[in-house]
Every structure is written in C-alpha cells, then in structure tokens.
Amino acid sequence: MIRAGVTCFADHYFAMDAVAEVVAASGMRALLGEAYFSSQGSQGREKSLEFALRHRGTAGGRITTALAPHAPYTVNDADLAATAELLPTEPATAAVASAAFMELGALICTARAPRCQQCPLARQCAWHATGQPLPPGPSRRPQRYAGTDRQVRGKLLAVLREATGPVPASRLERVWHDTVQRDRALASLVADGLVWQPAPKQYALAGDAPGEAPSVGIGSGRS
C-alpha cells in the first residue's frame, strides 16, 4: 500500500495486533477492528471490544478503532440487530453517527479517563447514571508496549525507514541494548518479509529489494 501511495486505510480481520504494530512503525493512519463471528459467542464480541479500547488513539493518535462484526453470513441476525439498534435508520445519518461515536470514544469517553462532565451523552449514559460502578471481576491490565519485541521491531524499522540505502548491522545495534532481544526482533522482521538482507550484515526495507517498486516514504527521510 505504501508503495502505491496509500497513507490511510481501514481494515478488520484477525491478527490485528500485528496490523496495529505495522501502522505504528510505518507512520500510516488506520481505522482498525478485530473481527468477530457469532459462532465465537460472547468471547468474540468481548475480544473485539478489548482490541478497540486498547488500541484507540495509539500510534500517536493515528489509529482509530471500531467494533468489527465480520459479515452478514458469519454474524447472526440477533448480533447484527443489537449493533444496528445503536444507529439511526437512515444510512447516511447512520454513517455520520458511526463517525461521531468514534470521535466520542477518541476524545471524550476514553478508556482510562472518561470526561463525563463534557459528554453530550451523559444524561443517557447508564454507567454514569448509576455512579460509575467498577466492573465485576478482575480488571484487565492493558498490554505492555515498552520493552516488548514490538517496540524493538518499531525502533529497527524506524532506522531502516529513515535510511537512504542498506543499513549495516552495527548501526542497528545502537537502537537496543539487549542483544538477544534485538537479534530476535530483527530475525522476525526478516522472517515476516518486512526486511531483507542485500549482503551479510546489511539490512534494508523489503520494498528496496531488487524487483520491488521503490519505497515511498511517509513523513521525513525518504522520497
């Protein structure tokens, strides 16, 4: 997509954590959702919601999220109806309402600190009206990012994205102190096809490999 000049996309399917990781590393902007089927039961919907809450506003605000019922042939009428009941019946108005809900979630009703005093839905909000009770059961801890392989992969990709040619391994060694973790992250980028080796101990973005169209940069560093 980047080589074709696409800078913003919408996607829903599975392995969306990996998609979010690439969005964060590449500088793109995206609307993402973790798809669910009715056959997954309530766990599918909960996983979709958990993804939406965990990733919304991440990547410096470049990721917007949504619930993602997969399709009319995999999500039953009851689940689709429950979703549709939340929206106006007129299609154009429903589209505007969907965008408004996403903005509300990004700016007002945030997961960690909802700004109920400024919320236009405060009078209709059951959670607010009942005194904002804590959810039953153990609280879900947000997925850690700092110190993970995902963070290391992002740092390695950032160096390669800014470079104008192949980068020697010695330069990549500076981005992360833990040799084992850095080597593991770099190997996974090669295995995933995001990075290639034009020579031993040389690395470049996969888009710069022979036979590939040249990479199109987003932001600074490449053109």
Binding site for ligand SF4 (CB under 6 A): 108-109, 114-116, 119, 121-122, 125, 127-128
CA neighbours within 13 Å on the CB side: how many for 132? Answer: 11
**C-beta closer to ligand SF4: residue 96 or 121:** 121
| Contact call for residues 152 and 182 (beta carbons, < 8 A) | yes
**C-beta closer to ligand SF4: residue 125 or 216:** 125
Please give the Cα distance from 152 to 99 (Å, whole number).
33
Please give the Cα distance from 195 to 157 (Å, whole number).
8
Close Cβ partners of 157 (under 8 Å, ≥ 6 residues apart): 25, 26, 189, 194, 195, 205
CB of 179 to ligand SF4, least distance (A): 45
CB of 109 to ligand SF4, least distance (A): 3
CB of 210 to ligand SF4, least distance (A): 52
CB of 84 to ligand SF4, least distance (A): 19
CB of 125 to ligand SF4, least distance (A): 3
**C-beta closer to ligand SF4: residue 87 or 116:** 116
**C-beta closer to ligand SF4: residue 128 or 184:** 128
**C-beta closer to ligand SF4: residue 125 or 169:** 125
Please give the Cα distance from 108 to 102 (Å, whole number).
10
Please give the Cα distance from 40 to 42 (Å, whole number).
7
